[in-house]
Chain A
Amino acid sequence: MTEPVLNANQLNKTYASTAGVAHEVLHDLSLTVDKGEFVAIMGPSGSGKSTLLNILSTLMQPSSGSVTINNKNILQMNDAEIAKFRGQDMGFIFQDYNLIESLTVQENISLPLTLQKVSPKDIKKAVQKVAQLLHIESYLKQYPTELSGGQQQRVGAARALVHNPTLIFGDEPTGALDSENAREMMNYLNQINENEGISIIMVTHDAFSASFASRILFLTDGQITKTISRDNRSREAFYQQVLSELGNFN
């Protein structure tokens, strides 16, 4: 019996437009993600993917509904609790990497740990470990702007991983990468998911990236309209299914 890591119940999100007309982005959306699961969320522009990810990752408040992560209701946390929660349980990977350009690669990766007041010795060890895993040891002393997009994204993944979170959120993590780098990035995420047992929730446009997930949710007009699972099939077979689903979908 698997245990849920995240549980969202009856999420609604409404934006007030400038014309005064309310615009509903999420409508009664519920979803559960199990420990160690890799979930991709797909859907056309404006379907509410990013809003959903922002709410699940504590960056945004829903208009109504509840979200629990590791059995904690994240909507009832105060600012300090949310900060601590993000620092210990969550990792983020973004389309535009969001590295701090004033810091070296090493400093960027170690930041979540220095915030948690981990000892310098342990910080060095942890940074070395993720750097090896993501093959970025050779440019630890460099600045983000000196790296290629693929390299920067690996640094971003290292930073999301370094503090051993239970859950990683990815917002189009391969969106800015070419196919070679995208494949590499997805392989890393797959490794992290399988070897470290970290759950991943990822928003993506890209069928290829989505095919690395174990389950894909299709979002239309703020609701989950279809769910497909990879089960025991190969990634390639799953990819074909995603493509055909997208064909039907559009």
Chain B
Amino acid sequence: MFGIALKSLRSKWRDYIVLFVGLIISAAIFYMFSAMATNRAFLEANSIVSQITIIFVIGEVLLGLITFVYLNFANGFLLRLRQSEYGLMSMLGATKKQIGSLLLRETLSIGIIATIIGILIGFALTKLSSHYLMNLLGVKLAHWQSISMKSVIITLLFFIVLFTLNGLYNRHRLRKQDTLTLLLANKQVNQPIVHKVIDPLLGLIGLGLLVISYVLMPNIVKIGLSGFVVILVLNVLGTYWFVSRTLKMLTNWIRNSTYSLHGLRTFINGQLAFRLPDYQRILSSIAIMFALALGAMSVGQGYYRMLPNQAEKTYPVTAVYATDKVNTDNLKGVQWQQDYQYVVKGQTVYFNATEFNEHKLPTKVSAKNGSGTQTKWVTGDWLQKKAAYDYTLDGIANQILNQQYGAKAVVTENASEMMAHGTPRTIQMVKVADMMANDQALSHNQKLQEKLVGTKSEFATGSYATYGQLKGIFGGIEFMGIFLGIGFLAMLAATLMFKTLSGVADDKNRYRVLAMIGTSEKKITQIIAVDLGILFVIPMVIGILDVIFGLQMFAPLMAGTNNAYLGFGPSLIGIVSLYIIYYCLTVWMYRRLIKK
């Protein structure tokens, strides 16, 4: 029996490779996610949002569900691949019990091997992507671990349990079938049956649930965390019913209209209708994965984009250097630059009012309309009256003394009064038009300043220093968002690819018949492009809608701006571009497999 099993493996190696790669990727992604979700120290150290661990637990549950659907499907595929072989064994005298245990053993060994390879690839993926991302974002995150025993165990256990359950289920299904059904398994087809009342009803209920979930999303803060779970359930169920029933009715309607009697519409519509029972669950999970990828990426990118803005709101200048030895010629687009003199005595830093009268100092004051801040250019006279309240000057005093707080800035009448307290030194203040364009130069200058006068970056003032401090606080969320976005996208890619490529064997014959009755190679490529295009577009549209509404949930996390859509545009472009590249790749691979 083992001989037959091995032979069949060889004859269908291409199908097995697709199955195997799909399983490996899903295990790798699951591990990647666990490595982050189970690292409590990392999550707590790198996030200012207290619920972050719970969000991750929910995320893990969601990923678990998606993986479950995926594995269930993969095992169904495995059973289908093997069924006729089992029929043959049964005909040759193997008992149902023998075949059942063979199936269980096969399922488990494929599962365990794939999971172990997946975890190993997960190590590499986690290590590479986190390393790359941290470099790209310029953040250093505490407690980050690429190799986590805890996640290895969780991933292994989760997959083994799922594979065992699936194996038992497959064995049960197998035992119920007679030899002939098994032998002819490859020739059996399930046609979609349209129910005149239930289908439109479930479609409408699905749409209703989807709309309710969208309405609830912006109000997440009021509903609380349990609302998150409710929204999730409503959204998932809504998507599933709406997508599956609408498509079923649509294909049925097209089938009965003259619209289909043109070119290859009949064929494409038939393909879609025929695949639906098999695809509806996968399409719904892909829609959700697309939404998760885009959503996570948008939140991460949102932070990435928000931080420079936030930083620029806190300080009127880009950088302050407590020495004139730092050469600022490397900065581009300098809008304003000024040197001032100061004298240090104890915890007090003395400035000269005459200088400020000649060259006004920019400072931040509360905006007139009461929200946010605005830049005010002040004179020495103004500072002398208000000195105690000006935090720009106090901040600079602390920077000069290289400490967080405690320094006091005093503006004296003139130069001689200031110099009565000691020898004057120079500070430089500079404002550039585009801070991020000067990122490298500013970072270089700060390091130079630290070398020359010992100013630590956490005590430095100016919007660039603030940006660095904010990044330390928010960098974790930014990193998690982008990391998860990539993870979900990879999982989605694996699922879709597996699903489409696993159907090649069945589709091959249909395309061969099409060619025989007069379809050119070019036309066949076009049909494949449309056929797969439909499968790609549906989850994308729903996923984007989910994110448009879903981002509202993250508005409270976007400190200061409350604008959850900051990162949406660029993330959308990024993810949709990757998705399109991925689509073209799938069409190309599919085309090649069909031709073989």
A86 to chain B, nearest CB (A): 4
Given A114-B262, A114-B265, residue A98 in contact with residue B274 (CB < 8 A): no
Interface residue? A234 (CB, 8 A):
no
Question: Which of B314-322, B424-432, B512-520 participates in binding chain A?
Answer: B512-520
Is the CB–CB distance between B261 and A110 below 8 Å?
Answer: yes
- Give the residue name and chain of the B residue nearest to A162 (CB): B517
Question: Which of B23-31, B187-195, B478-486 participates in binding chain A?
Answer: B187-195
Is the CB–CB distance between A100 and B523 below 8 Å?
Answer: no
Q: Which residues on the A side are within 8 Å of B189 (C-beta)?
A: 101-102, 143, 145
Q: How large is the interface on B (under 10, 10 to 19, 20 to 34, 35 or more residues)?
A: 20 to 34
Is the CB–CB distance between B274 and A79 below 8 Å?
Answer: no
Is the CB–CB distance between A79 and B521 below 8 Å?
Answer: yes
Is the CB–CB distance between B517 and A111 below 8 Å?
Answer: yes
- Give the residue name and chain of the A residue nearest to B507 (CB): A102
Is the CB–CB distance between B263 and A92 below 8 Å?
Answer: no
Q: Which residues on the B side are within 8 Å of A107 (C-beta)?
A: 255, 260, 266-267, 270
Please pick, from B264, B266, B267, B520, the residue contacting A83 in the complex, using a CB distance under 8 A: B520
Interface residue? A87 (CB, 8 A):
yes
What mask results when residues 266 to 284 of chain B are scored 1 for a CB within 8 Å of chain A, else 0? 1100110111000000000
Interface residue? B522 (CB, 8 A):
yes
What mask results when residues 492 to 518 of chain B are scored 1 for a CB within 8 Å of chain A, else 0? 000000000000000001101111111
Interface residue? A59 (CB, 8 A):
yes
Please pick, from B188, B262, B270, the residue contacting A102 in the complex, using a CB distance under 8 A: B270
Q: Which residues on the B side are within 8 Å of A110 (C-beta)?
A: 261, 266
Interface residue? A104 (CB, 8 A):
yes
Question: What is the bound-complex CA distance between A102 and B274, given in angstroms?
Answer: 5
- Give the residue name and chain of the A residue nearest to B258 (CB): A120
Q: Which residues on the A side are within 8 Å of B263 (C-beta)?
A: 114-115, 117
Given A92-B516, A116-B518, residue A98 in contact with residue B188 (CB < 8 A): no
Quick one: which of A88-117 are within 8 Å of B by CB? Answer: 88, 90, 92, 98-104, 107, 110-112, 114-117
Is the CB–CB distance between B262 and A117 below 8 Å?
Answer: yes
B3 to chain A, nearest CB (A): 22
Is the CB–CB distance between A103 and B267 below 8 Å?
Answer: yes
What mask results when residues 207 to 227 of chain A are scored 1 for a CB within 8 Å of chain B, else 0? 000000000000000000000
Is the CB–CB distance between A92 and B266 below 8 Å?
Answer: no
Question: What is the bound-complex CA distance between A90 and B512, given in angstroms?
Answer: 15
Interface residue? A72 (CB, 8 A):
no
- Give the residue name and chain of the A residue nearest to B272 (CB): A102
Is the CB–CB distance between A83 and B519 below 8 Å?
Answer: yes
Quick one: which of B412-441 are within 8 Å of A by CB? Answer: none
Q: Which residues on the A side are within 8 Å of B520 (C-beta)?
A: 79-80, 82-84
B479 to chain A, nearest CB (A): 46
Is the CB–CB distance between A86 and B517 below 8 Å?
Answer: yes
Question: What is the bound-complex CA distance between A119 and B510, given in angstroms?
Answer: 24
Is the CB–CB distance between B516 and A111 below 8 Å?
Answer: no
Given A98-B513, A114-B264, A115-B263, residue A87 in contact with residue B518 (CB < 8 A): yes
Is the CB–CB distance between A86 and B516 below 8 Å?
Answer: yes
Is the CB–CB distance between B261 and A115 below 8 Å?
Answer: no
Please pick, from A90, A111, A146, the residue contacting B266 in the complex, using a CB distance under 8 A: A111
Q: Which residues on the A side are within 8 Å of B267 (C-beta)?
A: 100, 103, 107, 111
Question: What is the bound-complex CA distance between A79 and B515, given in angstroms?
Answer: 10
Question: What is the bound-complex CA distance between A57 and B462, given in angstroms?
Answer: 80
Q: Which residues on the B side are within 8 Å of A159 (C-beta)?
A: 517
B576 to chain A, nearest CB (A): 30
Please pick, from A92, A124, A146, the residue contacting B517 in the complex, using a CB distance under 8 A: A92
Q: Which residues on the A side are within 8 Å of B265 (C-beta)?
A: 114
Is the CB–CB distance between B517 and A123 below 8 Å?
Answer: no
Is the CB–CB distance between B264 and A79 below 8 Å?
Answer: no
Question: What is the bound-complex CA distance between A80 and B522, given in angstroms?
Answer: 8
Q: Which residues on the B side are within 8 Å of A114 (C-beta)?
A: 260-266
Is the CB–CB distance between B188 and A100 below 8 Å?
Answer: no
30 CB < 8 A contacts A-B: A59-B516, A79-B521, A80-B522, A83-B515, A83-B518, A84-B520, A85-B518, A86-B517, A87-B518, A92-B516, A98-B509, A98-B513, A100-B514, A101-B189, A102-B270, A102-B275, A104-B255, A107-B255, A107-B266, A110-B261, A111-B267, A114-B260, A114-B263, A114-B266, A115-B518, A120-B258, A124-B261, A145-B187, A145-B188, A159-B517
Which 4 residue pairs are nearest across A and B when measured between Cβ atoms? A87-B518, A102-B274, A83-B520, A120-B261
A interface residue numbers (CB < 8 A to B): 59, 79-80, 82-88, 90, 92, 98-104, 107, 110-112, 114-117, 120, 123-124, 143, 145-146, 159
Besides A83-B518, A100-B267, A111-B267, 8 other CB < 8 A contacts? A83-B520, A99-B513, A100-B510, A102-B275, A103-B266, A115-B263, A115-B519, A117-B263
B interface residue numbers (CB < 8 A to A): 187-189, 191, 255, 258, 260-267, 270-271, 273-275, 509-510, 512-523
